[in-house]
Structures are given as C-alpha cells and as structure tokens.
Amino acid sequence: MKHNDDMDKNQLKYAQQHLANERTFLAWIRTVIAIVGVGFLTTSLHFTIGVHRDARIDMISIVLGMFACALGLIITVLATAAYLQKRRHIHEGTFRPSSVNVILIAVFMVILLSMIVLYFSFL
C-alpha cells in the first residue's frame, strides 16, 4: 500500500511539472502574439494615420513591422524547442536552466525596443 502512495505522489509531481511546462510554453505564445501585434499595429497605424510622409520614417516603420514578425517566429521556434527539451528533462529527472534562450530573446527585444524608440524619435 505504501508503494502505491509513493507512485501516486510521483505521478502527481510529474503531472504538475508537465502542466507547468505547458503553461510556460503558452505564456511564450501569448508573448509572441503581443510582439507581432505591436509590430503590425505600429506599421498599420503609421500608414493609415500618418500626417506627413517621410521615406526614412516609412522605411523604419516597415522594418519594425517585419522585425516584430521575424522575432515572433524566432520566439515560437525557441519556445517549442525549450518545451520539448524541458519535457525530456522532466522524464529524465534532470534540470538545466535555459539561459541561452532567455539572453537571446532579451537581445532581440532590446533591438525591437530600440527600433521603436528610433521610430518615435523621427516623428
């Protein structure tokens, strides 16, 4: 009877870890939706509400929208790879932090935010 209780606790622990892994993946997907949305919104509003035309600002707006979409794609791929890797680590009972992914995404976010600041500085 004691053996079954230990097995049930282990199953519950692994289920909780897998569910946390899935929630983390879904949080990354929500982040991607927000990033792509900001890029699309910036580009769309620029060309529909823009008061004056300037080729420099137009180009920054287009590049900003494209970069946001590319960043969304990159984050989706990285989040999927991290999800699969964490799933494997849960099964193996090991843990390795995902420092590289976090640093890489942070660098891309700094670039995106710099582009947004650049865009607004030319307005």
Residue type (1 letter), 30: R
Instruction: Tell me the whole-structure pTM to 2 decimals.
Output: 0.81
Residue 23 CA, distance from chain mean position: 13
pLDDT in tens, 24-75: 999 999 999 999 999 999 888 888 886 677 888 889 899 999 999 999 999 9
d(CA 105, CA 24): 15
Residues 6+ apart with CB under 8 A from 38: 68, 116
